[in-house]
């Protein structure tokens, strides 16, 4: 593997290999520059690492595809199996379906993000990065909602004191799970 010291050139909008390697071994690389900016050690992989990269991409695609299929199955179950939407189970099923939807979107965009149509265009790449970031935030938000609901269930005194209706929980959850991440991304 070849090491290079580089910095981000703001004017040219790219990494420039313009630094001196002071010291390097298998565990670290030390670089020297005569200016202040964003620095990085750029690693240029050899052919063997490209093969490993291709294998890792394949494993990631297969894993994300399996995950997406299971998440889609979860959502379809919620939509088409009436027992999951009964009054006593609706709140938990609704939250689970939304968490599954956020994770499904994340997996789908992750799979698509490696396609040549995305990587060949700067605009497509920026849009994909924004959508993946939004999907990550939504996934974390829905996980936090699940945690809060579980907290209310574990501490029944809080649950009975608040006496939130299903409608209120659903509306608040939708705003918190999909709206707050949208505000952060925008």
- List, for residues 102-118, the tens digit of each pLDDT value: 999 999 998 888 777 77
In a domain, 50, yes or no: no
In a domain, 51, yes or no: no
**CATH code at position 85:** 1.20.1070.10
* Centroid of chain to Cα 120: 21
The model carries a pTM of 0.69
- List, for residues 5-38, the tens digit of each pLDDT value: 777 777 787 777 766 666 777 667 777 767 666 6
pLDDT of residue 162: 65
> Which string of DSSP letters, residue by residue, matches 29-70?
EEEE-SS-S-EEEEEE--HHHHHHHHHHHHHHHHHHHHHHHH
Residue 88: enclosing H or E segment and its boundaries? none
121 and 40 within one domain? no
98 and 73 within one domain? yes
Domain limits for position 121: 57-185
Burial (0-12, 13-18, 19+ Cβ within 10 Å), 91: middle
168 and 82 within one domain? yes
Helix, coil or strand: residue 106 = helix
72 and 30 within one domain? no
In a domain, 52, yes or no: no
85 and 61 within one domain? yes
């Amino acid at each position: 593997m070849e090491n290079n010291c580089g910095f981000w050139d703001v004017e040219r909008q790219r990494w420039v290999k313009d630094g001196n390697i002071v010291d390097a071994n298998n565990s670290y690389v030390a670089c020297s520059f005569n200016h202040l900016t964003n620095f990085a050690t750029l690693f240029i992989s050899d052919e063997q690492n490209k093969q490993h990269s291709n294998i890792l991409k394949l494993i990631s695609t297969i894993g994300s595809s399996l995950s997406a299929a299971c998440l889609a199955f979860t959502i379809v179950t919620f939509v088409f199996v009436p027992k999951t939407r009964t009054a006593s189970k609706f709140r938990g099923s609704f939250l689970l379906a939304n968490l599954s939807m956020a994770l499904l979107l994340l997996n789908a965009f992750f799979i698509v993000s490696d396609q040549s149509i995305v990587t060949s265009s700067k605009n497509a790449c920026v849009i994909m990065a924004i959508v993946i970031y939004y999907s990550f935030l939504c996934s974390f938000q829905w996980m936090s909602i699940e945690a809060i609901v579980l907290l209310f269930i574990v501490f029944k005194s809080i649950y009975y004191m608040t006496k939130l209706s299903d409608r209120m929980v659903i509306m608040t959850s939708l705003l918190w799970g999909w709206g707050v991440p949208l505000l952060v991304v925008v």
